[in-house]
Amino acid sequence: MSDHVPELPAYQSPFDPPGVHWQRVDPVLIKVRLVGTALAMLPALAGIAIAAAATGQTWLWIALAVVAALVVWRLLLIPRMVRAIGYVERADDLLIRKGLLFRNLTVVPYGRMQYVDVTAGPIARRFKIAAVQLHTAAVGTDASIPGLPEAEANRLRDKLASRGQARLAGL
Amino acid sequence: MTEPDVQAPEELTWRRMHPITPLVRGWTVVLIFLFLIANQTIESFSATGRLDAGDATGNLPVLIIVAIIFGVFVITGIYSWLAWRKMAFAIDDDAVYYRSGILFRQQRKARLDRLQAVDTVQPVAARLFGLCELKVEVAGGAAGSAVKIGLLRLEEGHQVRNEILARAAGIQAPHQSDQAGHPGGNQIYAEAPELEVITVPPRNLVGSIIRSGSFWILVAATAAFVTTWIVTGSAQFLVVFVPFAIGFGGYVIGQLFSNFDHTVASSADGIRLRSGMLEKRAQTVPPGRVQALKFTQPLLWRRKQWWSVTMNVAGYGISTDTSDQSRTTLVPVGSGQDAVTAAWLVLPDLGVEDPGAFITDLLAGTYAELSVTTSPRAARILDPWTWSRNGFLVTDTAVIVVSGRWRRKITFVPHARTQSIGVSQGPIERLRGLVDVALHSVPGPAVPVVTHLDMAVAAQFTDEQAARARQAREIVRPDRWMERTSE
């Protein structure tokens, strides 16, 4: 070993580990989530609107306005939230970062992965993206990467499964 | 993993359980049926005043009632005999197999290299007949996926448990390949000798229950009820009081009964726990299966310096069975010395020079001397009283998380048992530059979370912990703990 010890990177934020280059997910996820939210909230909005128009009471109109405002706020947030999702495969573990206001980072070691799922709902399948979900023995491990193109999702699943197998260390 | 509908290997010897197993397991159904019939009879009796009227109001004559009861017994008997014939279990070197079911065949398989714990339980009904039930917990199963080998005679139950533990440990059973056709059936497996290390005297148990919040809530509610009764002269608040008393009183009495005569022993099989007054329970947790350890001290126990020790074991935390609630209790109430012993049982190598003194200092709370990294002053606005009592400490083999000022908690997580790490931050924490770091572990009472850490400190901890966990995983002992690695 040489005498010159390389300077350790200064630790600043746990959400930006040193030497990590975050990979983004497919922006088509924005569309998928927008469509999903709209479809979910449409019946509620329509119901309140019909009730308000039929009975003409003021508080129903106010309720309609409030719910509509919440839905619009939610829809406006979606693009920013999707852009905040990042993941990176390191040598021994996988890092997943999510969230804007409530930020979240999960570090999942390959040797602890019990199994890996690839799931896609109907709207996601239409846009040809899928979510990769990792499971460890802990229930609280929220390690899912949504919005990956199908080929990439399958490649990631296979790579994680083989890395997990190689480093599998019991429970 | 327990996987339903698996094909068991062909050369297994299937063993039967005790014939009254389906009866004892299904007695509640019969009881409900009889209760319904009795209810109907009583109603008809109170309506007409006569038992034998078979008139147009739809009451059944007493003969038909007797015939129905007899029919119920006969049908139950036939069903239980058929069910008993179909129930069987088998053990080989790789797994425990269990099959049952008349119409819907069910087969379960529990792999022995994923064994987490083996319990022998004697519920009250089974204890009357001298029988016991075996529960085999394996990793990777959902709730209720434990293989339950139902009622065996007590001696046979212990034999089967010893055999499962011996095979899971990797002790090679001497194969009788020269004998024709009876592999393993006649082998007597000895119980590994054990050394009793912790006992809980009933006086301490009762004292600890008296010093619990639930007990005092119950006393206060009873006093309030009695006062209102005396003052108002009517017992109308009984309606409110009775469910309350049943809830809290049931919890208090349940704690007393299930932790009665609790002993902890150490053996080559692992940690042995025995407890129970009405329902006796003997648990065996093989070495290395405890995922996390937690010491708790409620405020009322501080004068007595008592601690309660609980643990996370894969498969124990997620059970929905009511009899499984106290399985994670390693020591329901113990002194500081008992806590030190419990830590030694679970973590023989704590990574410090003097584990006894180290743990005693932790219990005493002298965090500054131990150089525990606590929340920074910036966390004062979020944790005004506990900011200096929340923190973590890293030794060579474990992470220790401390929290709480009045209700104190100390959690140990071995490096080799860290599953994943989660870092989270809300908007207020972001303003103060704080994060929460959670060391994910299997479901159970120990939840190692360090709240409100400084961001730079948390970044360093997360990075270093990932590296330490990886190193610890590489030197972990094999799953079959008695296996000779040279062969």
Residue A147 corresponds to which amino acid? G
3-class DSSP state for residue B265? strand
CB contact under 8 A, A106 and B462: no
Average pLDDT in the B194-222 region?
91
CB contact under 8 A, B479 and A92: no
| B463 in A contact zone (CB under 8 Å) | yes
The predicted structure's pLDDT at residue B322? 60
pLDDT above 80 for B158: yes
Instruction: Evaluate whether B438 touches B384 at the Cβ level (below 8 Å).
Output: no
**Angle between helix A28-55 and helix A58-83 axes, rounded to 10 deg:** 180
| A23 in B contact zone (CB under 8 Å) | no
Instruction: Evaluate whether A147 touches A129 at the Cβ level (below 8 Å).
Output: yes
The rounded distance, in Å, linking the Cα atoms of A140 and B138 is: 19
The rounded distance, in Å, linking the Cα atoms of B441 and A138 is: 5
Helix (H), strand (E) at residue B45: helix B21-48
The predicted structure's pLDDT at residue B475? 79
Residue of chain A whose Cα is closest to the Cα of B475: A169
Residue of chain A whose Cα is closest to the Cα of B424: A104
Instruction: Evaluate whether B146 touches B135 at the Cβ level (below 8 Å).
Output: yes
Among the partner-chain residues A12, A17, A103, the one whose CB lies closest to the CB of B424 is A103
pLDDT above 60 for B174: no
| B469 in A contact zone (CB under 8 Å) | yes
DSSP B378: G
Average pLDDT in the A36-56 region?
87
| A168 in B contact zone (CB under 8 Å) | no
Helix (H), strand (E) at residue B339: helix B336-346
Residue B246 corresponds to which amino acid? I
Q: Strands B115-122 and B280-285, how do they pair? A: antiparallel
Q: Which sign does the torsion angle of CA A58, A62, A67, A68 carry?
A: positive
Closest chain A C-alpha to B172 CA, distance in angstroms: 21
> Quick one: pLDDT band at residue B3, thresholds 50, 70, 90?
very low
CB contact under 8 A, B442 and A137: yes
Among the partner-chain residues B140, B430, B466, the one whose CB lies closest to the CB of A109 is B466
The predicted structure's pLDDT at residue B56? 41
CB contact under 8 A, B437 and A14: yes
The rounded distance, in Å, linking the Cα atoms of B34 and B69 is: 7
The predicted structure's pLDDT at residue A58? 83
DSSP B387: G
The complex scores an ipTM of 0.84
The rounded distance, in Å, linking the Cα atoms of B76 and B30 is: 8
CB contact under 8 A, A109 and B426: no
Average pLDDT in the B446-457 region?
92
* Residues of chain A contacting residue B466, judged by C-beta atoms under 8 Å apart: 92-93, 107, 109
Beta bridge partners of B243: none
**pTM for the whole thing?**
0.83
Burial of A10 (0-12, 13-18, 19+ CB in 10 A): exposed
> Quick one: pLDDT band at residue A2, thresholds 50, 70, 90?
very low
**What DSSP assignment string belongs to B186-231?**
SPPPPPPPEEEEEE--HHHHHHHHHTSHHHHHHHHHHHHHHHHHHH
Per-residue b/e over A62-88, b at no fewer than 16 CB within 10 Å? eebeebeeebeeeeeebeebbebbbbe
Among the partner-chain residues A14, A141, A167, the one whose CB lies closest to the CB of B459 is A14
* Residues of chain A contacting residue B456, judged by C-beta atoms under 8 Å apart: 10-13
Residue of chain A whose Cα is closest to the Cα of B427: A101
φ/ψ region of B298 (left if φ > 0, alpha if ψ in -120 to 50, else beta) reads: beta
- Cα B163 to Cα B13, B169, B266: the distances in Å are 14, 10, 18
| A6 in B contact zone (CB under 8 Å) | no
3-class DSSP state for residue B259? coil
Q: Which two tokens stand for residue B472?
A: 């610890």
| A18 in B contact zone (CB under 8 Å) | yes
Give chain A's mean pLDDT: 85
* Residues of chain B contacting residue A141, judged by C-beta atoms under 8 Å apart: 419-420, 422, 440
pLDDT above 50 for B150: yes
Beta bridge partners of B91: B96
Percent of chain B with pLDDT over 90: 34
Q: What angle do CA B479, B482, B484 make, to 5 degrees?
A: 100
> Quick one: pLDDT band at residue B482, thresholds 50, 70, 90?
confident
> Quick one: pLDDT band at residue A140, thresholds 50, 70, 90?
low
The rounded distance, in Å, linking the Cα atoms of B114 and B239 is: 50
CB contact under 8 A, B458 and A112: no
pLDDT above 80 for B390: yes
* Residues of chain B contacting residue A169, judged by C-beta atoms under 8 Å apart: 416, 473-474, 476
Q: Which sign does the torsion angle of CA B380, B384, B385, B386 carry?
A: negative
- Cα B138 to Cα A24, B141, B143, B439, B482: the distances in Å are 38, 7, 11, 22, 18
The rounded distance, in Å, linking the Cα atoms of B356 and B377 is: 31
**What DSSP assignment string belongs to B71-126?**
HHHHHHHHHHHHHHHH-EEEE-SSEEEEEE-SSS-EEEEEEGGGEEEEEEEE-HHH
The rounded distance, in Å, linking the Cα atoms of B484 and B170 is: 8
The rounded distance, in Å, linking the Cα atoms of B81 and B280 is: 27
Higher pLDDT, A12 or A40: A40
Residue of chain A whose Cα is closest to the Cα of B116: A171
The predicted structure's pLDDT at residue B8? 64
- Cα B81 to Cα A122, B130, B134, B432, B485: the distances in Å are 49, 20, 21, 68, 46
Instruction: Evaluate whether B461 touches B149 at the Cβ level (below 8 Å).
Output: no
